[in-house]
Amino acid sequence: MGTQAEVESPRTRRVRPKVLAGAVAGAAVLFVGAVVVAAPLGAKESLPKHEGVGSDRAHQVIAELKERGVITSSDEVISITEDAVALKGDPNEPWVTEAAGKANPGKGGGGGGGKGGGKGSTSTTTPSSPGGGLSSSYALQSGVGLLTSYIVTSAPGTPIYFVDGLQQAAADATTYTGSPMVPGTASTGAEPVNGEVRISSSDTQICGSDNAAGCTWTWYDGSKVLKSEIKVRSWLPFDAARCLIGHELGHGLGLAHVSDSTQLMNPVWTQGSSPCSYQRGDAAGLATMASVKFTL
């Protein structure tokens, strides 16, 4: 979440910080973005849908995921946006129990990636009345469906205020999804296990940019969100962490960006005017994702 100044001749004018999903908006910005390395672009693979990002960055993200052992082929990537990567997941992978955080054999049908769903306009399933005026804008990046419960975990060395931010956002999300999200023990593999939402911090690039502040990878099996990983740059300031992490958790539970600036899933966050919690449209989207429940 870097701060820059918009330059005017002959003096510099200060502007309010913004969170922006991966592109400079001519102001102090916070980029939402995946840990990547420079990718050799020799043999070109067919790229997945990469909305809002250039092909070079999409290649970089894929190269990083391969280097980390998260994927072996670009065919496992459903889509890439500025701050979210949707991946195909296997429901037969082990999953984490809500209480003990232990891996258990998963149950479930076959895998296969699902393309993003459509934008919603109304919802009658929102269990409470959050802010956001009368707006009910939301968009889904996956087919509808969540697990009956998830655990939220943090990798060793994650700043405590990142952990707190995720737990607060998870508590809010539980209100709208009805899927409890409780603290658990982090898995140690290249990717989380099914049923886990894991957060970690990074001192290196995220989403192909030194200015990117955070990114979320979410695994789907075509019908439900299996697991998610949120990575946040270690320099993200305290006062912006809760807002960004809540936005990223929205991606982790299947929400996509909306153009409505009153909602947390809008890709631009402006300090002092943008929300730090889920609004009416965000809540409607979460409730829609949770309208079909799965037990692994």
pLDDT digits (tens, 9 = 90+) for 3-12: 332 223 333 3
Residue 35 has pLDDT above 60, yes or no: no
Residue % of the chain over a pLDDT of 70: 67
- By C-alpha distance, which of 244, 208, 282 is closest to 20? 244
Per-residue pLDDT reduced to its tens digit, 271-287: 888 899 999 999 999 99
CATH of the domain at 54: 3.40.390.10
Residue 160 forms part of a structural domain? yes
Per-residue pLDDT reduced to its tens digit, 255-264: 999 999 999 9
Q: What residues pair up with 229 in beta bridges, in sequence order?
A: 198, 217
Confidence of residue 222 (pLDDT cuts 50, 70, 90): confident
- With beta carbons less than 8 A apart as the criterion, state whether 257 and 267 touch: yes
Q: What residues pair up with 294 in beta bridges, in sequence order?
A: 147
Confidence of residue 123 (pLDDT cuts 50, 70, 90): very low
Average model confidence (pLDDT) for the chain? 75
Residue 112 forms part of a structural domain? yes
- Write down the pLDDT at residue 134: 63
Mean local confidence (pLDDT), 63-87: 88
Per-residue pLDDT reduced to its tens digit, 157-215: 999 999 999 999 999 999 999 999 999 999 999 899 999 999 999 887 676 666 668 88
β-bridge pairing 12-13 and 6-7? antiparallel
Within a 10 A sphere around the Cβ of 161, how many other Cβ atoms? 15
Mean local confidence (pLDDT), 53-77: 86
- Write down the pLDDT at residue 209: 63
Residue 99 forms part of a structural domain? yes
Residue 68 forms part of a structural domain? yes
Range of the domain at 174: 6-294
Residue 196 forms part of a structural domain? yes
- With beta carbons less than 8 A apart as the criterion, state whether 241 and 161 touch: yes
Residue % of the chain over a pLDDT of 90: 43
Residue 1 forms part of a structural domain? no
Residue 22 has pLDDT above 50, yes or no: no
Residue 54 has pLDDT above 90, yes or no: no
Report how far Cα 7 is from the mean position of its chain's Cα atoms. Answer: 32
Residue 47 has pLDDT above 80, yes or no: no
Structure tokens at 79: 């889509």
- Ranked by mean pLDDT, the top range of 69-83, 248-262, 268-282 is 248-262
Per-residue pLDDT reduced to its tens digit, 148-169: 999 999 999 999 999 999 999 9
- Write down the pLDDT at residue 23: 28
What is the total count of domains within the chain? Answer: 1
Residue 237 has pLDDT above 90, yes or no: no
- Write down the pLDDT at residue 234: 87
- With beta carbons less than 8 A apart as the criterion, state whether 286 and 171 touch: no
Residue 107 has pLDDT above 90, yes or no: no
Mean local confidence (pLDDT), 82-91: 89
Residue 170 forms part of a structural domain? yes
Burial of 110 (0-12, 13-18, 19+ CB in 10 A): exposed
Report how far Cα 107 is from the mean position of its chain's Cα atoms. Answer: 25
- Write down the pLDDT at residue 11: 36
